Each structure stands twice: as C-alpha cells, then as structure tokens.
Amino acid sequence: MNASPRKAAITGHPVAHSRSPLIHGYWLKELGIDGEYGRVDVAPEIAEEFYRNFSASGLIGANVTVPHKETAAKVCDWLDGAAKAMGAANTLWLDDTGRICGANTDGLGFLGNLDQLAPGWDNSTGSALVLGAGGAARAIVWALLSRKFTRVHIVNRTVEKAQKIAEEFGAGTFAHGWDELGTLLGETDLLVNSTSLGMTGKPPLEIDLAGLPKHALVNDIVYAPLETDLLKAAALRGNPTVDGIGMLLHQAVPAFERWFGVRPQVTDELRTLALKDLGVIS
Ligand code: ATR
C-alpha cells in the first residue's frame, strides 16, 4: 500500500451518484492535504470479500453506501456505538494493528446540522416526533436518544417498521401509524421528516401542523428542494426550521477527521457547492 497520498473512497453499488467525492475533495483542497478521495463500485457478489480484505484495497479508509452498510458492519473487528446500535457502518478505517474499524456517522450528521443551524436546540429535550422508519430514521432515533430526549415517537405508514425500531432502541421510543399524527403533534418539541415525501419527483408530504406548539423546531432531511413544503408551512406559522443539506455534509466530518487527522468545517461555500452540484440551486 502506498503511504502517500493517503487514499479513501466511497464504496457501494452504485456509487456514481455519490456527492462524497465532492465533499472530501473540497476539504482536501481547502486544507492542503496530500490525499485523494475516489469511488469504488463494489458488486454485491464480492462485497463481503471486499470488506473482509479491506486492507488489500490500497485505501486507508472508506465510506460505505447502499446496499453494503450492513455487510461492512458484519465484517468489522471493532464498531462504534452507533454502528453497533444500527447494525450498519458508513465509515471504515484500519487501526494501527490492521484491524478493520467501522462507525456510523449518519446520526452525528443529523446532530451536527442542528448544532450548527439551531444552537441550543437540545437544551430542553422533551418529545421528538420522527416521520418515517427507514435507515435515516434509525440514525435519527439513535441521535436523539444520545442527546437524552425523553420521548421519541416514530410515525410510519408501515407501522411494523416503526415498531421494529422502537423495540430495538427500547425505553423512550414509541411506534405509531399516521392516524395518530394529529394527537402527537400537540406534544412535540422537535419534528423531523425522514421520509422521502416532499422530495422532487416524490409524492408531497401532506400534514396539517395546526396542533404543533410554536416553539417546536422543524427539520426536514429532504434537501431537494431545499425549502420543502413542510419547512415553508412551519416557517409561515412561526416555527423555527432547519433544512436537510447539512446532515449530508456533517456526516462526512468525523470520517474525514479520522482518515486525514484534521476536523473540517461545513462552510456556506461547501453548502452552496453541494447544492449546485445536486442541481438544487443554480
Ligand atoms: P432511508 O433509508 O433513506 O430512510 P427508506 O428506507 O426507503 O429510506 O425509507 C423511506 C421512508 O419513507 C419510509 O419510512 C417509508 O415508509 P414505509 O416504511 O411505509 O415504506 C416512507 N415513505 C415513502 N413513500 C411514502 C408514502 N408514499 N407514504 C408514506 N410514507 C412513505
């Protein structure tokens, strides 16, 4: 393996659409680090072998995207708490002894975004309501429990998926169907949309915010469009809002720091660069 430049990559199947090379490439250039960040498409039939023999890849670390996050977690010699809780790793590195280590930084990305754009948002950690029960919801539930939210309600069309997450995380997490949304909104301090509803090309997220307390923070992890109908409706009635692009950018921060030894910043310039690349703004 070449010691220099240090090389990391996004791995998954497919990887062509990933914005990770843009994000890490921006930081490598800004910080003047002699490193590279590429793309490695890992076919499903060789995924387990690829991650098990990660040290042979020539990479010092990698991001992992769908559909390999669970496979990557399975072969790791060490996992951080988030990856263990989610059974999925999105960040890999080799430690000094050559062990494969894995982390899941999606939840940290969610927290980093709110910490940056709504400082103090977790000063009073009451009741959170998460719409959706996919991989993103699982990371968000983990993140909210790590900040000591006392009640995390998960509302999903397929209620069984919400129940599975609530069972996994245990005390303080509750599963519901959409029919309970109206009642739940009244006791919500933080509302997060983690479904794909409201995304360009997907069905709209139709939700009546009437019962939502005016202090409740509203966050949408959808970032195309940047100001979703949910965020528009929330802002119109005076609720504080945070958009979703920051979660994508902040989940990359701990990975970059791990591989290249410097903690990078999520700047307005990076935000704009990513949004332009995604075609969200021109
Ligand atoms: P991710 O891993 O990014 O979270 P996902 O696993 O595909 O993505 O999850 C998408 C979420 O959006 C799910 O909660 C899904 O609800 P189901 O579990 O019932 O499928 C939700 N979702 C997608 N389309 C929806 C729709 N038309 N109505 C309600 N919920 C929808």
Exposure string (b/e) for 157-179, b if CB count within 10 Å is 16 or more? eebebbbbbbeebeebbbbbeee
pLDDT tens track, the chain, 282 positions: 445 789 999 999 999 999 999 999 999 999 999 999 999 999 999 999 999 999 999 999 999 999 999 999 999 999 999 999 999 999 999 999 999 999 999 999 999 999 999 999 999 889 999 999 999 999 999 999 999 999 999 999 999 999 999 999 999 999 999 999 999 999 999 999 999 999 999 999 999 999 999 999 999 999 999 999 999 999 999 999 999 999 999 999 999 999 999 999 999 999 999 999 999 999
Please list every protein residue whose CB sits less than 6 Å from any atom of ligand 1. 132-137, 156-158, 161, 194-197, 203
pTM above 0.85, yes or no: yes
List Cα–Cα distances, 251 to 60, 116, 119, 193, 245, in angstroms. Answer: 18, 13, 18, 17, 10
Pocket test for ligand 1, best of 106, 157, 193 (most atoms within 8 A of CB): 157
Q: Is 107-244 in CATH node 3.40.50.720?
A: yes
Ligand 1 atom nearest the C-alpha of 131 is: 14
Residue found by looking up tokens 């494969």 in the block: 100
Catalytic residues: 69
Same fold, 6-105+252-278 and 107-244: yes
Domain boundaries, the chain: 6-105+252-278, 107-244
CATH T-level assignment (fold) for domain 6-105+252-278: Rossmann fold (3.40.50)
Residue nearest to atom 18 of ligand 1 (CA): 158
